[in-house]
Amino acid sequence: MDWLAGLLVLETTLEGLLCDGGAVERLRWRRMAILLSAAVLILVTAVLCIQVGQIWLWAVPVVGYRLINLLRLYRNRLPAAQLRTVSLRAFGWLLTAEMVVVVLAWFATQYTLGSILFDVLLTAQLLNAVLLLRVSTRTWRHAAMPTQGAAALSDKQLPAVSVLVPARNETDDLQRCLERLVASDYPKLEILVLDDCSAVRRTPEIIRSFAHAGVRFVQGNAPDETHWLPKNYAYEQLAREASGELLLFCGVDVVMEPHTIRQLVSLLQDRKKDMLSVLPLRVRTISRGSSLLQVMRYYWEVCLPRRLFKRPPVLSTCWLVRSDALQHMGSFASVSRSVSPEAIFARRAVVTDAYSFVRSDEQLGLYSNKAAADQYDTSVRVRYPQLHRRLELVGLVAFYELFLLLGPFIGLFIAVYLPHPLLYAAIWAVSLACLMVTYSMVAVGTRLTGAWYGWLLMPVAFMVDLIMLHISLWKYEFSSVYWKGRNVCIPVMRIEAQGDAAPTHRLVPQRQKIS
- Residue 460 near residue 292 (C-beta atoms within 8 A): yes
Which one, of 72, 93, 66, 95, lies nearest residue 84 by Cα?
A: 72
* pLDDT score of 23 more than 60: no
* pLDDT score of 287 more than 50: no
Three-state secondary structure call for residue 269: helix
CA gap 382, 352 in Å, rounded: 27
Q: 20-34, 100-114, 151-165, 421-435: lowest mean pLDDT where?
A: 20-34
CA gap 275, 342 in Å, rounded: 10
Q: What is the mean pLDDT of residues 24-34?
A: 72
Three-state secondary structure call for residue 161: strand
Question: Residue ranges per domain, the chain?
Answer: 2-103, 158-280+315-381
* pLDDT score of 82 more than 50: yes
Neighbours of 186 (CB within 10 A): 21
Residue 254 dihedral angles phi and psi, to the nearest 5°: -85, 135
Q: How far is CA 44 from CA 15, 290, 351, 361, in A?
A: 14, 44, 49, 57
CA gap 435, 409 in Å, rounded: 10
* pLDDT score of 448 more than 70: yes
Q: How far is CA 7 from CA 3, 36, 41, 49, 238, in A?
A: 6, 12, 9, 15, 59
CA gap 92, 73 in Å, rounded: 15
> Looking at residue 288, what is its pLDDT?
52
pLDDT tens digits, one per residue of 195-224: 999 999 899 999 999 999 999 999 999 888
Residue 147 dihedral angles phi and psi, to the nearest 5°: -65, -35
Three-state secondary structure call for residue 413: helix
Residue 473 dihedral angles phi and psi, to the nearest 5°: -55, -50
CA gap 117, 76 in Å, rounded: 41
- Residue 194 near residue 165 (C-beta atoms within 8 A): yes
pLDDT tens digits, one per residue of 325-366: 999 999 999 999 999 999 999 999 999 999 999 999 999 999
- Residue 262 near residue 347 (C-beta atoms within 8 A): no
Neighbours of 212 (CB within 10 A): 8
Q: What pTM, to 2 d.p., does this model score? A: 0.91
CA gap 133, 431 in Å, rounded: 10
CA gap 358, 252 in Å, rounded: 20
**Chain length of the chain:** 515
Q: Is 331 left (phi over 0), alpha (psi -120 to 50) or beta?
A: left
Q: How far is CA 410 from CA 167, 185, 394, in A?
A: 44, 52, 21
- Band of pLDDT at residue 27, cut at 50, 70 and 90: low
* pLDDT score of 149 more than 70: no
What is the C-alpha end-to-end distance of the chain, expressed in Å? 77
* pLDDT score of 164 more than 70: yes
> Looking at residue 50, what is its pLDDT?
87
pLDDT tens digits, one per residue of 360-410: 999 999 999 988 888 999 999 999 999 999 999 999 999 999 999 999 999
> Looking at residue 28, what is its pLDDT?
67
CA gap 411, 403 in Å, rounded: 10
Query: Cβ contacts of residue 93 below 8 Å, gap of 6+?
Result: 392
Topology (CATH) of 158-280+315-381: Spore Coat Polysaccharide Biosynthesis Protein SpsA; Chain A (3.90.550)
